[in-house]
Structure 1
């Protein structure tokens, strides 16, 4: 708590009172500076500004005359005793030419007004310092406590600061309970009508990387490096790792004995599945690993290696694609290629780039059909599966389009769900 300022009778103290004032005033300054983690000089400037503001308010006529003469008001303040004098003079005048204009009993009159100004400026200085501190920590993971909801934003206590998690940084299937503890990524500092805000995220892929750095000593020390990460927040993440030191198994290091390390990360992400893959410069080998658990895969790359046709046994098609296309979509992001998945018995041709905006984009639907579905909030595979009657009644969806949607959905519904 900020100790109260008392400026009354400060210019009429005897020697004993001055000693007390010196002790109390200096102690108060240092206490505020320590508690709020701001420089003493900032507090002194706040006191000076407060005294000038009080003079302008309580002695408005005198202040106006000084302004009309083109003069400015300054404050001489002793940081040890708290004694002060208000002075006025031309901006280009020397200090000795400034005139003392301190009204009798001004300390007592100014006390309450000055206190409010000081409190406001100290709060602003404290917030500026907090923002500067977190500016240097962007990209780090921290643990916070859910304080409250502010509209659609989740407000998180992250220590000295307050984090704001907007809807786009929230995981869709997570519920943020009051006073629950969560790990968040310090994402950005953004301006808003409320001032600068510390933005935190639960969806950013770097959160997963930071959690592995915290839970896996080899990642934290740089012996094991996270090369590429592809994430569908709340559902599944594929992470590729490599070792900088001979004899160190990057995948084993991240998994840990009996899976204890990766499980710690999974727990922080509320059960999100994580596939850990060894990175390889060999795209063929890397892509086959990325498409696991599908096996017996045949790859055919385009001449510029930007696209690849993946042929899988018919009974492996659902594994390669994954529920809602998740497996192939994350593999495309991880390796950085367009992927066309085909069965060795039939060839409907499912094309995935890894840059799809919505889950239904992995179906490869015609543009107009896709736009109609998005416009009706049917953006997930699950939405289509459970709302086919609604889809059938949508204007612009003809019989041919409907049959195409059903065929794509059939190919995308896996017969089994791969384990993490």
Structure 2
């Protein structure tokens, strides 16, 4: 190695952000192993690379003892004082043992170490980049698929989209562009591993953030999301400016904004309701499009008993209970729905709808 090699390390430090000193120390450590392996040495050695010239030297390290029993590791006090009179017992003496052809081994080892460190640094940079984008939306290109996953090219990394995280009936072909939600980023021996989803409620939230400037600017806020991917979703929105209608902002002129989201989700229906800190109002809004006659809140049991017009009972419950189920998930309340004819009698098992346990991350952090 020579001064040009040191200059190359300085250039790498500027381009890749890998400190020159870290690279040199890693090369020195690798050269110790290289020396012992190539020269069958059991000595304790130290490798020194000159930070200016790049010159490589190897030093055997020996402990000063009264009488050397193992000359590979020890040196007698008399022999040590011939080198330097100030040596005492238990001092360490360094004797240069650089082989004549060690430069070739040093160059090969240095190349391997630098290549490995560059690869590790690039993986670390990519990991940090995508770890910071966890719970964000990304657009990628489908590269291939197998029985379990689609593999999505995100540019600097390939993401895994499990088939279980796609919407019902959704199929992708090679080179299809697709928007996905990053659920987690993990380190692996082959570099960062990015997992994405098309069914996560966070995807719906991020899509609205892209389409609605008022959400991006913080004027309108998505307070909660309930989603049954591929079928129907509900979002509850609030406003920080009373002059702005949060529902209207999300719907857009002639429904253009919400339609863009619906199209991206392959026709998934989206109900947008106004959030309220008052449970009666919030539960009523959440059951949209059904009209609500009254809501009776039971705080201790976290139950909302709802009365709807007779002709709207099936609408309030929804197909296979979907509307009531999503409303319960959106509000966090168990919802007991009855029509006016039934009055306020005791709830029966089929009529009680609870908030389903949601294993997805807290959307307020998304």
Report the TM-score, using the length of structure 2 for normalisation: 0.75
Task: Give me the whole-angstrom Cα distance separating, in 2, the residues matched to 1:221 and 1:107.
Answer: 61
1:26 matched to 2:22: no
Greater shift after overlay, 165-174 or 206-215?
165-174
Match of 2:295 among 287, 292, 299: 299
1:257 aligns with 253
For the structure 1 residues 352 and 86, does the alpha-carbon distance in structure 2 shift closer, same or farther, using more than 3 Å as the test?
Answer: farther
Residue 89 of structure 1, aligned match among 61, 69, 79: 61
Residue in structure 1 matching 2:271, options 251, 269, 275:
275
Q: Alignment partner of 2:243: what SS? A: coil
- Secondary structure of 1:147 counterpart: strand
CA distance in 2 between counterparts of 1:286 and 1:187 reads 29
- Superposed displacement of residue 147, structure 1: 3.0
Say if 2:279 and 2:297, in contact at 8 Å, map to a contact too.
no
Structure-2 separation of matches of 1:38 and 1:176: 39
Distance 1:328 1:56, change over 3 A: farther
Residue 142 of structure 1 is matched in structure 2 by 138
Do 2:47 and 2:56's aligned partners in 1 also have CA atoms closer than 8 Å?
A: no
- Indicate the structure with greater strand content: 2
Tell me if the contact between 1:38 and 1:126 (Cα under 8 Å) persists in the aligned partners: no
Q: Distance in 2 between matches of 1:117 and 1:276?
A: 56
Contact 1:188/1:198 (8 A) holds in 2: yes
Aligned residue pair count: 326
1:76 aligns with 2:57: no
Q: Is contact 1:224-1:244 (8 Å) kept?
A: yes
User: Residue in 2 aligned with 1:400?
Assistant: none
Q: Distance in 2 between matches of 1:239 and 1:212?
A: 10
Maintained 8 Å contact 1:328/1:352: yes
Assess if the C-alpha contact under 8 Å between 1:312 and 1:341 holds in 2: yes
Partner of 1:316: 312
Task: Please report how far the alpha carbon of residue 243 of structure 1 lies from its aligned counterpart in structure 2 after TM superposition.
Answer: 1.0
Between structure 1 and structure 2, the one with the greater Rg is 2
In 2, Cα distance between the equivalents of 1:150 and 1:304? Answer: 50
Match of 2:207 in 1: 211
Q: Which runs of 5+ in 2 are unaligned?
A: 64-86, 359-366
Alignment-derived partner of residue 354 in structure 2: 353
Shift of 1:250: 1.2
More displaced 10-residue stretch of structure 1: 115-124 or 207-216: 115-124
SS of the residue 1:173 aligns to: coil
Q: Tell me the SS of whatever aligns to 1:339.
A: strand
76, 85, 101: which one aligns with 1:105 = 101
Q: Which of residues 31, 36, 41 is equivalent to 1:51?
A: 31
Rounded Cα–Cα distance in structure 2 between residues aligned with 1:241 and 1:52: 63
Q: Deviations over 1:213-235 (max 9, x none)?
A: 22222111211111111112222
- Which residue of 1 is the match for residue 362 of structure 2? none
Residues 329 and 354 in structure 2, CA contact (< 8 A), matched pair in contact too: yes
CA distance in 2, matches of 1:118, 1:259: 56
Cα contact 1:26–1:81 (8 A) shared by 2: no
CA distance in 1, matches of 2:149, 2:36: 41
Distance verdict in 2 for CA 1:147–1:306, change over 3 Å: same
- The structure carrying a bigger helix percent of its residues is 1
Q: What CA distance in whole angstroms lies between the structure 2 residues aligned with 1:241 and 1:74?
A: 65
Query: Deviations for 1:51-103, whole angstroms, at most 9, x for unmatched residues?
Result: 344334322x12xx21xxxx34333243x654433344379x9xx96443332
Moved more, 159-168 or 290-299: 159-168
Measured against aligned partners, the alpha-carbon deviations of 1:381-409 in whole angstroms (never above 9, x if no partner) come to: xxxxxxxxxxxxxxxxxxxxxxxxxxxxx
RMSD: 3.3
1:182 and 2:163 are equivalent in the alignment: no
Taking a change above 3 Å as real, the CA distance of residues 248 and 45 of structure 1, as seen in their structure-2 partners, is farther
Q: Is the 8 A contact 1:29 1:43 kept in 2?
A: no
